[in-house]
Chain A
Amino acid sequence: MGKVMLEVKNLKTKYVTRLREDVFAVDGVSLKIEEGKSLGVAGESGCGKSTLALSLMGYYFAPLHYISGDIIVDGNNISGMKPDDVRRKVLGTEIAYIPQAAMNALNPTQKIIRFIEDVIHVHDPKMSKKDIYDLAKERFAILGLPEEVLQKHAVELSGGMKQRTVIAISTILSPKVLIADEPSSALDVTSQKMVIKMMRDLMDKGFIRSMIFITHELPLLYNVTDDIMVMYAGQIVERGTAKEMVFDPLHPYTKGLMGSIIVPEEGVRENKLIAIPGTPPNLKHPPKGCRFADRCKYATPTCMSMEVPNLEVPSKENDGYNREYRCLMSVRKIREVYENE
């Protein structure tokens, strides 16, 4: 078991609307990522996965507010730190964050190398321009980006190239955790593949020590991350290895999600897609019992009223690895029910 890079304990955050109503977007999330591992977060839009990414940085600004919980990065608890301290001490070196529209964040009047100088100077003001250039050149070469990019302006680059450049800039300080929120969703498939390859390279070459990858595209997660975590209505409903999650899901919601995967491969045309009726609950007033109960065809009256604990079961594939799920049915019961369909 590797060193724990990021540990989150019972994190709760909320949005406050203009009408002073609270929306509990992340409601009691706990997770752990070991060194060299990557974790994928999947879920429908509005399930809180992007909010989770923002909350994990410890950098809160209105309307997002911190309620409770701990975020421990490599042994340091960063929850409750002042935003200024977070910006100076955590972002960049401990945690790097890449949003979906990251490529639009580049100021068009500056050369790429200036951004790298800026990032490095926040943490090491003494480093000379020459050293920074050499470091950037080396890093770009390893990641397969041409050196000329450093001397170019953002407008001269294509969308995919911009996104890869931003990722390279954000990880120049070799952060311990990289949080990528849909980094490739706005790109065409070819650029998406390049971005994915680059993120794999970053992990393999040790430039980042762990990664959280957030997307709604399950085939992508399956190919990028070691583990997958499924979020529903602000909570984690299931977590396991990528393979288990896709081919042997336990929670009925995960099952539905995985049943909606469409890939251009032989035999897919004959698959019957699983549709889940209904809509996710309103996070202003989350239901008391299982949050998925009113859409679940296996739900019992107990599901509606009883809060469902997170259960751990040993993984079939990996020894010593536990997968988690949040359902009142036992694993045996679940398998039985799915078998009979």
Chain B
Amino acid sequence: MKNTLRQVFHSPKFVIGFSIFAIILLTVIIYPLVVIADPLEMVGNGNFFKPGTYVSVKDAVEGTHYTLNIDVQSGSLDNKISADDKADMKDWLVKYGGVAEADVDINDTEGLIELWGTHYDPDAEQKGILASKKKYYVRLNNNLKGILEDSDLIIAKENSETGELEQANTIASKEFVNTKDVANRKTFILGTDNFGRDVLTELLDATKTSLRVGLIAGVVATLIGLFLGLLSGYLGGMVDNIITFVTNLFTVIPSFILLILISYSVGQAARGVNLVATIIGLTSWTWTTRSVRSQVISLRNRDHVNLSKLSGHSMMRIVLTDILPYIASYVVMAFILQISSGILAEAQLSMLGLGPSTSTTATLGLMMNWANLYAAPLNGSWWAYFPVVIMIALISFSLNLMNTGLDQIFNPQLRD
């Protein structure tokens, strides 16, 4: 036994898989202890905020300001107009603004904007231009208005008595705020999702739930599979025929179709996380049954089982002590695979909108579903779905790696 464990932890595949899984598990457990927040709290008003640190504007305005002698203009200019915009501007100026191509320097942003300001006219005749392009130039022009002004910004307060605005503060263009001075800050490492929830916190909570789904599905499938497999393998005869028939029936019907039908018929209101997990388990036991059955059949005729019978042991005891320990490694491997496939099945179901219908917990599949519904892939909000995909891939990769590692140890034919 000790030797087997030693061998297991000498298998590089198993160790890598196990480490990845352990890291995921530990993160999932430790993170909520450190960051105490409701994972589904809608922090943001609006959908898909970019990853980054958000600071309170009011705090920034009211806090200590420092004046730094830095060229702030080019910095904010670069932030506002992209290289594509500049190329388009040059394009317009040359084609419709009547400027010679040699006069336009695309690298001199300020010069370009000045040229633009003097030559651009939205009502000018623009032949052969698409309407959408035309609108784009109008939008661009509006954006650029006042961009070169570096006059001070005046902050006004409403006087509660007179209702008039009074100047409270002015902000020069070279004034800075130290982010540390800003009392209210919030960092969203992975941005927010469509409901304005912190994706990272939500992701870790969803991982926890998905692992639970996998675990429940795995336990249900393995228990059913083990029970039926032991029964049909050990008893043989009519019992075996019936169980094999039922198993084959379930194998032939694609279990995913079955899953969809059951989930659908259960109804939206009743589908909780645990119920969905159980349903997944109930549709994926066939593989375990078949492999356990074949293992038991080969064990049933072994001499140690015969000897146990001759020693007068009961059937229950023979199954528990003479057969179960021998197939334990196979069952563990099947269990690992069931967890992995359970997590994937949940993700698939949720993508179809048949997953757990709950607003109190997230699962990996639901996160994908939400991101998909709010067109995150289309509007470029990668942070809403990409980390979820990576997490699903990592979990199933680590579990499968562990399984392969174990397989090589317990299945001598695969040894090198």
A residues contacting B by CB (< 8 A) are 18-19, 62
Contacts and interface: CB of A to CB of B under 8 A. Distances in A.
B7 A19 contact: yes
Nearest to A63: B416
Nearest to B3: A19
B416 A19 contact: no
Contacts of B415: 18
Contacts of A18: 7, 10, 415
- Top 5 A-B residue pairs of the complex, sorted by shortest distance between their CB atoms: A18-B7, A62-B416, A19-B10, A18-B10, A19-B6
A281 B373 CA distance: 70
Interface of B: 6-7, 10, 415-416
A62 B416 CA distance: 7
Nearest to B11: A18
B137 to A, nearest CB: 70
A17 to B, nearest CB: 10
A114 B159 CA distance: 103
Contacts of A62: 416
Contacts of B416: 62
Chain B facing A: main interface SS: loop
A269 B197 CA distance: 90
Contacts of A19: 6-7, 10
A19 B9 CA distance: 10
B409 to A, nearest CB: 8
A164 B10 CA distance: 43
A18 B7 CA distance: 7
A31 B10 CA distance: 39
7 contacts: A18-B7, A18-B10, A18-B415, A19-B6, A19-B7, A19-B10, A62-B416
B227 to A, nearest CB: 34
A62 B6 CA distance: 21
B194 to A, nearest CB: 51
Nearest to B409: A18
A171 to B, nearest CB: 30
A104 to B, nearest CB: 14
A334 B258 CA distance: 80
B410 to A, nearest CB: 12
A62 B10 CA distance: 17
B286 to A, nearest CB: 30
A108 to B, nearest CB: 19
B9 to A, nearest CB: 11
A19 to B, nearest CB: 6
A18 B10 CA distance: 8
B167 to A, nearest CB: 80
Contacts of B7: 18-19
Nearest to A20: B10
Nearest to A17: B7
A18 B415 CA distance: 9
A18 B408 CA distance: 11
A322 to B, nearest CB: 43
Nearest to B416: A62
B411 to A, nearest CB: 13
B402 to A, nearest CB: 17
Nearest to B6: A19
Contacts of B10: 18-19
B12 to A, nearest CB: 12
A325 to B, nearest CB: 38
B168 to A, nearest CB: 76
A18 B14 CA distance: 14
A155 to B, nearest CB: 22
B380 to A, nearest CB: 50
B408 to A, nearest CB: 9
A237 B285 CA distance: 57
B58 to A, nearest CB: 66
A19 B6 CA distance: 8
A19 B10 CA distance: 7
B6 to A, nearest CB: 7
A19 B4 CA distance: 11
Nearest to A18: B7
B283 to A, nearest CB: 38
A231 to B, nearest CB: 26
B15 to A, nearest CB: 14
A18 B9 CA distance: 11
Nearest to A61: B416
B217 to A, nearest CB: 33
Nearest to A62: B416
A187 B415 CA distance: 28
A62 B7 CA distance: 17
A18 B6 CA distance: 10
B207 to A, nearest CB: 34
A243 to B, nearest CB: 40
A157 B10 CA distance: 44
A19 B415 CA distance: 13
A215 B308 CA distance: 34
A83 to B, nearest CB: 15
B105 to A, nearest CB: 66
A20 to B, nearest CB: 8
A56 B416 CA distance: 22
